[in-house]
Structure 1
Amino acid sequence: MTPELVVLDMAGTTVADDGLVERAFTAAITAVGVPADRHPPMLDHVRRTMGQSKITVFRALLGEETLAQRANDEFRRVYEGLVHTGHCVPLPGAADTIRVLRAAGVKVALTTGFAAGTQHAILDALGWQDLADLALAPGPGVRGRPFPDLVLTAALRLEVTDMRAVAVAGDTPSDIRTALRSGAPVAAGVLTGAGTAADLRAAGATHVLDSVSDLPTALGVLPCEGN
């Protein structure tokens, strides 16, 4: 059946990353005094946990809460600076995909592992503030991936009647785990970001797609005339 709600990740799924996360992360750990010889294993951890809440990643790597918060604040400053200077572009076909879904009566939520301020900086830079029905980031009462909170909160706020009518798409194993833990029957992985096909299938992806542009067809949602 046609889903009531599609929950889409941002960086790597609908928005190109192009190494921005790693650039901002490197700047953040440098700013809080992490020596250069410790950067490679930390960056490996960042790659493995792509899609998760950034403050959670900093807490895991730096331990001390004050240090993690300082690093997270620096990450946000650097990443948002890159966004504001034009280093943020949509993935081909992503905006059209959202429009096709909404024109077919499907609600769309954009979710992220970034802080809400960073998410809105991206939406502003792309002119996407009104593109989807909802934009949602981790925050008080909403844990980040791989917890199911982002999907469940989107379903609650958009008044979905049945979790079996929810589809989720993202580019990382964390996106897939979030989808499955929420009870969504569609956990689609896309190959435009951090995860490989093997990574996504190992996490339990129900579909592996070349890009988010393939999602409407996979869901059986046909473009309305004029879209």
Structure 2
Amino acid sequence: MNKAVLRTSLAALLALSPTLAFAHPGHGEAVGFAHGFMHPLSGLDHVLAMVAVGIFAANLGGRALWAVPATFVALMAVGGALGMSGVAIPFVEIGIAASVIVLGGVVALRSTNWPLGAAMAMVGAFAVFHGFAHGAEMPADASGLNYAAGFLLATAVLHAVGIGAGIAIGRVGANAPRFTQALGAVVAVAGVGLLAGVI
């Protein structure tokens, strides 16, 4: 692994860490499209996981480019509906941190031979936790449609960023796999930090 790439990736992660934390606790009012859109963008856990989904999809290529992110968004909507309705899901924070670790690990290992159904199932399972965290922020007496539309669109944007990054990195030449692996490793390490509560 290229040490300069790893150092640059770690520096970028550390620069982001002070301003980004878990997206769900203590956001105050969470009503409307704008709040919903900003919610995924305000937490390092969500940003890393969603961009990693996009990079994973780009690494798989073919139908996975749209099917993997679409599955995430669809099951995130299900999780959001559960959160808004007050249904209890255990271990949400652990599930979200685990998603960052696993998705970062999959990118770090540059796994490109996943069956499409397995890739969709894996990201979909994690999407429920992310959606639940967003939906649980919605006040019980407010309509969740605009809020949900906001966080789903932000998620799609983050996936598109990941796909674009994965495709762009793939075109840089012989070092592309190592750079992608370094990014995945940084994401996975950040996930461990989130799980341990140090980030």
TM-score by structure 2 length? 0.26
| Higher strand content, 1 or 2 | 1
TM-score by structure 1 length? 0.24
| Higher helix content, 1 or 2 | 2
Rg comparison, structure with higher value:
1
